[in-house]
Amino acid sequence: MPIAFLTLCFTVGLAVHAARTGRFSPWGWIVIFLPPLGGIAYLLIEVLPELLGSPRARVAGRRIARQVNPEKTYRALRQQLLDVDTVANRAALAEECAVLGRWQEAREQYDEILRRPNGDEPLFHLGRAEADLELGRPTEALAVLEALQQREPDYGSARAELLRARALAAVGRTAEACDAFETISRHHDSYEARARLAAVLAAADRPDEARRIAGEIRERLRRAPAHVRKLQAEWGHLAEEVLRRA
């Protein structure tokens, strides 16, 4: 009985968290219908990477898990969508496309989701914006993010803030991008935000600031545990590149 009660509390708590952070579809359903494994997966893929400072670490984690058979999950989700065309199934396929770098297909799935009456969750707008960024369409990404901010002024997440900062940098609004990256790094202790800030400063011909921030990242990672260094390797490499070029 105590174990069943704890499992129920664990499931309800994570389902509420998924709803409040705009992840309920599909994660809320996974947590509810597959306890406790669904909850554990949600923690490992969505919550833990964000707490460690890298929202995109969920993508890295999934890529590692799929190295043996990278297309298996994609094929299964695509067939599932062909069998039952729902927002939840499209969202699952879109996320898998993002994991595999199929950004055009991910964008198409999010476009279709956003056209549906029950597809207006913030998470889907963020997915569309990220796909636009990866496809080299920062102006469109920024428009999606700013429209979401106007419609949902109380909604906020590290992922949304980081996507907006990236879009600002990509469209040349450097000062705003630097402020945004700085805010994210303070509030979320994000290696990604600091590394991207250093790169933006270097590109804006501010080498001293860029080297200082990149050097701080290198020093922090040098002292960090091995699992943190591995998780943040992409941003450590970006910091090293800034130090070489700035």
Q: What is the residue-averaged pLDDT of the chain?
A: 86
pLDDT of residue 165: 97
Close Cβ partners of 149 (under 8 Å, ≥ 6 residues apart) = 155, 160, 164
- 161 close to 184: Cβ distance less than 8 angstroms: yes
Q: 237: pLDDT confidence band, cut at 50, 70 and 90?
A: very high
Q: What is the pLDDT of residues 68-91, one digit of tens each?
A: 567 778 888 999 999 999 999 999
Is 42 or 222 the better-scoring residue by pLDDT? 222
Following CA atoms 156, 157, 161, 167 in sequence, which dihedral angle do they give, to the nearest 10 degrees? Answer: -100
Could you tell me the pTM of the whole model? 0.70
Q: Find out whether 88 and 113 touch, Cβ atoms under 8 Å.
A: no
Question: What pLDDT, on a 0 to 100 scale, did the predictor assign at position 29?
Answer: 77
What beta strand segments (E) does 56-164 contain? none
Q: Would you state the pLDDT for residue 5? A: 67
pLDDT above 90: residue 214: yes
pLDDT tens digits along 187-207: 888 999 999 999 999 999 999
SS3 for 149?
A: helix
